[in-house]
Structure 1
């Protein structure tokens, strides 16, 4: 019987000790937001299509000396997060290393794996004390330019840039109709939600937007659609699209936490 009581007291003591052991508080969620969509412009010139799905568009890469578009993208996300989840801590990141942007372009081209890109940017988020990362990365998709009453476009685009249709189209004006080309800014990106503990992808939301712009009356004499907007106006148009894209997907992204 003594042994039975001793065993009972030992068990009781062990249980009490276990109950008194300090329990580590749960780690608060801290989200790092990083955009890699705005390091360059992709300028696509349309060609006459014969029905083939082969992308024959003329493409030009124009490096951007400013990171305004990336900054605008993460700021738009932070604003939306503050409105929807005010208790969620969000830290904004920048990636200045050109090798990270080159790696992303290789991923879009199918030459590298997306996890390699995550491994390259994860240290930035971890140094900021983040538990999660929302990475805005370039996404490739079919060109679909919103014309208001339908869509046009051939081939594929990714990231941010402009689709230029130099073939004449009709635009209603106060004087009747004018024959003009089309300049269409586009923002094709995805928001990838990553748990930094093990680099686990826990969600992905895609935003593909492109909208045709016609020339204003004061630039209607422009010979080429590329000249419809000034350099400053081009960046502003792309920032507007990225803001709209973030706004469309932010609620679903925030629902992953």
Structure 2
């Protein structure tokens, strides 16, 4: 009698393990980024107001999803390292509705039914079970120095913050410079149930790379010229990787 009981218990355990293994086997996590449709340049407006003062803002539309691809590839690399064996799907979209909606997809569901339906269709067509979605996050401009922070106003998404006035000193050469340029990524990263579009967890990240306008690299009339075009692209890709490397582990924590 005891033998039959133990055999039955073993059978139930094996069935449970098999079911769990099958469940794990069908996991398909998609990655989608909505931060790369434009590149914003914020120019410090001067010390005539408070930290809430608006900066001058210029937005450059980007038709090529190069920065979104960088974001999802970075997310995939980090996720695969933390969850080896889980299938992933990298998604790229140029749908203007999703890019415009951003966080309103979840903050205003009734007003974004069509956008949510379209997003669901992207996932169901690929048998996705969970989605890691990267959207723009708006917050105070804060750029780290050795002894504090600089920045004014609020920024979001992907771009450059330029200040032609703040005096900074290079800690190595002790050279003084007028202003700085900082590449930044302010993003909200969500883990979402693909069937219901329910947000399971979200993480806000603020990553930046500050470059002072020092005579060591040549004196420029504007801090914008402290970096070449190629250096600007490299800095943007670096801060994208840095922000994702910070966000994904936090997203997967219990």
TM-score under structure 1 length normalisation: 0.80
Cα-to-partner distance string for 1:116-168 (whole Å, 9 max, x where unaligned): 35444232222221011110000001110112321111110000111110104
CA contact 2:131–2:193 (8 Å) conserved in 1: yes
Correspondences of 1:140-155 after superposition (within 5 Å): 140-155=138-153
1:248 to 242, 246, 249: 246
Partner residue in 2 for 1:69: 67
CA contact 2:177–2:215 (8 Å) conserved in 1: no
Change (3 A) 1:220 1:193: same
1:113 to 108, 114, 117: 108
CA distance in 1, matches of 2:155, 2:237: 17
Count of aligned pairs between the two proteins:
232
Q: Displacement of 1:88 after TM fit?
A: 1.3
> Which entry has the higher C-alpha Rg, 1 or 2?
1
Q: Displacement of 1:216 after TM fit?
A: 6.6
Change (3 A) 1:218 1:54: closer
* Structure 2: runs of 5+ lacking an equivalent: 1-11, 13-17
Q: Displacement of 1:223 after TM fit?
A: 1.4
Partner residue in 2 for 1:177: 175
Partner residue in 1 for 2:202: 204
Change (3 A) 1:233 1:174: closer
CA distance in 2, matches of 1:118, 1:169: 47
CA distance in 2, matches of 1:225, 1:236: 17
Partner residue in 1 for 2:212: 214
Change (3 A) 1:173 1:199: closer
Partner residue in 2 for 1:6: none
The alignment yields a C-alpha RMSD, in angstroms, of 2.8
CA contact 1:29–1:131 (8 Å) conserved in 2: yes
TM-score under structure 2 length normalisation: 0.80
* Structure 1: runs of 5+ lacking an equivalent: 1-18
Q: Displacement of 1:76 after TM fit?
A: 1.0
Given the alignment of the two structures, is residue 26 of structure 1 paired with residue 23 of structure 2, yes or no?
yes
